[in-house]
Structure 1
């Protein structure tokens, strides 16, 4: 038996990286998976999974798209048990004075508003069903300072606080809301597949001395999605090779 047998999971950012790995893993664990993305690659992820998955083109910054994503999920599968708000953007690694107003607007809209809209759309469905699990992708940089990433870190810090505060709102309602906080994770590079190896000799500043890989982050999301985490809510879980422990 799989840990998500009989459950329906929506994963945003499912076209690549952590979201793609989570879609494959959740399906292997028995879930029907809704692969949502704005890139078009969500179709490839769903096709690789097969009959247990569908693809939805969705922009997480659009309330209409997000509400449509939830509506299609319930219409197709009759329920929504797990929402993995994973879609997000990074940005340039530069000091604060070298960032732009346009980047501020983009990173806050995708990383913060996208999570807010996902939770707002999914929670009424989960309340009506008696519960569910929401996992948000934050970042280790949302827990500690990260030189050169002030705006990105601020957006992920907001995700951490959205997660913790919303978890308290629904703690007695059967809805668990948690976050994973990745450290530096290798998700491939431009024009390379997600599973391309990190460059030889590349060692990010994490105590384990290596990159994380999407499958490791997907495994953490699976735990939080599953009944194994039935007494876990309001947690921002570092999955970062020890980065925030220093």
Structure 2
């Protein structure tokens, strides 16, 4: 964090209208943070904010660079500074093999998961460079390490997040900009329904299995911890999964 300890810290969260983004926003608001809520749908962002005066709702399409620049401009103007970006917006896309993946679906997943993350990171980096530091937390997913069956578009974009995070950490070193790849596995969220984990996810052996999950609040606590670490410390990678889920070897 860049602010004095007596001042509330400020975080920008993309994809704040649901899932991990919503849980993290609400947790940090409870902890006294200023939270800038970004996402495509204002109504869901307002639901996340619950009228909290420390929440700033900024409807934003992360695939549009000018919109993301405006997000950070509004955040800095409203709260004076931004300390952390939680680069969280993303979609799973269709659960199909590569030969069944349409070019349009590929483009959509890449545009949101990768170009959107790049846009947010670029705007944050520019602001952090000017103000003397900041922290970027990229939501990678454990698919950044090991793919899930029928997830080629999602896995490719999440593997790319690893390169983005390392580049941000390296290029930001001289400016006290820190970057973390946060890899989360099987939180109890709507994303799991996209590939059937709660009903029986396809396993590498061709069978289906209901996989363990863990509460969103525990993932949010991980984000809150990373966000609160002083800039003298780098957390390059942080992995948190549901206990017993298929991960090492993917089942």
Q: TM-score by structure 1 length?
A: 0.86
Aligned match of 2:207: none
User: 2:76 aligns to what?
Assistant: 74
Equivalent position of 2:237 in the other structure = 236
Q: Which moved more, 1:178-187 or 1:146-155?
A: 178-187
Change (3 A) 1:27 1:5: farther
Show the counterpart of 1:6.
8
**Correspondences of 1:194-213 after superposition (within 5 Å):** 210-213=212-215
Aligned-pair CA distance for 1:156:
0.5
- The equivalent of 2:206 in structure 1 is none
Q: Does 1:27 align with 2:17?
A: no
Separation in structure 1 between the aligned mates of residue 227 and residue 53 of structure 2, nearest angstrom: 21
The answer to whether the 8 Å contact 2:142/2:239 transfers is yes
In structure 1, stretches of 5+ residues that fail to align are: 190-197
* DSSP-derived class of the 2:174 partner: coil
CA distance in 2, matches of 1:214, 1:4: 29
2: CA distance between counterparts of 1:204 and 1:217?
A: 24
Give 3-state SS (helix, strand or coil) of 2:123's partner. Answer: helix
Corresponding residue for 2:136?
Answer: 134
For structure 2, list consecutive stretches of 5 or more residues without a partner in the other structure: 192-196, 204-210
1:185 shift after superposition: 2.1
Q: What's 2:153 paired with?
A: 151
Runs of 4+ deviating beyond 4 Å? 201-205
Normalised by the length of structure 2, the TM-score is 0.84
Quick check: 1:203–1:210 contact (8 Å CA) kept in 2? no
- Equivalent residue for 2:48? 45
Number of equivalenced pairs: 231
